[in-house]
Amino acid sequence: MRYSGKNPRRFEEKYKEHQPGLHADTIAKVIASGKTPAGTHRPIMVAEILQLLAPQPGHIVVDCTLGYGGHTQELLARIAPGGKLIGLDADPVELPKTEARLRALGFGPEIFTAHRTNFAGLPQTLAASQLPGADLILADLGVSSMQIDDPVRGFSVKHDGPLDMRMNPQRGQSASALLQKINAAAFASLLQQNADEPRADKLAAILAGKTFTTTRQLSDAIRAALPQVGKTDLDLTVRRVFQALRIAVNDEFSALDTFLRHLPACLSPGGRVAILTFHSGEDRRVKKAFADGRRSGLYSEIADEVSRPTPEERHSNPRSAPAKLRWAKRAPVASPEPSL
């Protein structure tokens, strides 16, 4: 592949990074520089999650956000023999790739199955698999690097691309369509609720109802709307607007609320769940659901404090920086009252 300059800059030009099996040295150099190789994803807080969940041979596990399969690969290695892992992911583009990678590592259908659905479909997936519940459940709520970095998906301003942002490009409306239809009051509310954006009203008045077809067009419009704001704060505002749109386009909070509501019933007695969140709206929901579950007796234990990546991990993988990890343990079944 030909490209301008000494090194490839565009996502599609990084052919070595897209073939990690053939170019291990290149992948190692990219990771050592604190970056994520194009087309891949680096799992976050793996050691902490394995310690909390403590997977054992024979366990039934659900990875509710399969992504690139980094967490899944580590869990699968620990539940054989006799275990089973179900992987869920709504992305029709990345799911087949990840399933193929895990199959190539030797994880056959007897131990691993993949299902195209988001985590709100967990109860239906367990029922279809004829499983009463899971011993361990993991949900990593972050957007994968494969989605962020690929300009075609429209999640980021790193490279210009269509303003889409759908996890499943085959369903729903794009971010461009949402912006074109929404009114200023509704968009201001969306910016506040989904991203805690302090300049929501001003931005909504300028952006709502307008046509933006690319990520660069929207980013430039946000910057032009706030000429007095410094570069650092302006960069944060751009990211918050994109985050708010992504959450709305994919109905993420509704899916998370559904998942958390059904979660206790999907865990076997004594089963454990670990959830990684990446912004305050997600973390508030998880924290409240776990606390309510403990008060009602659904959970016997929950995380009293949030766990975060180590300084070493944040340095080597900057995308891990906002991650927060919470866990809960399903209450055991109450012993029956002795008969008189």
- Give the predicted TM-score (pTM) of the model: 0.87
pLDDT, mean of each 10-residue run, the chain (340 residues): 64 66 72 69 93 97 94 97 96 92 96 95 94 96 78 81 90 94 97 95 97 96 95 94 94 96 97 96 96 97 96 92 97 58
Cα separation of 13 and 36, whole Å? Answer: 15
Phi, psi of 87 (to 5 degrees): -110, 130
Torsion of CA 282, 49, 156, 97, to 10 degrees: -120
Tell which residue, 315, 275, 284, has the closest CA to residue 49: 275
Span between the terminal Cα atoms of the chain, in Å: 81
- CB 325, CB 51: distance < 8 Å: no
- Cβ-based neighbours of 228, under 8 Å, separated by 6 or more: none
Characterize the bridge pairing of strands 267-277 and 324-330.
antiparallel
Alpha helices in the chain (DSSP H): 24-32, 46-53, 70-79, 95-104, 122-128, 145-149, 175-181, 184-195, 200-207, 215-225, 231-249, 252-266, 280-295, 311-316
pLDDT reported for residue 8: 67
Task: Classify residue 13 as exposed, middle or buried by CB count within 10 Å of its CB (0-12, 13-18, 19+).
Answer: middle
pLDDT reported for residue 290: 98
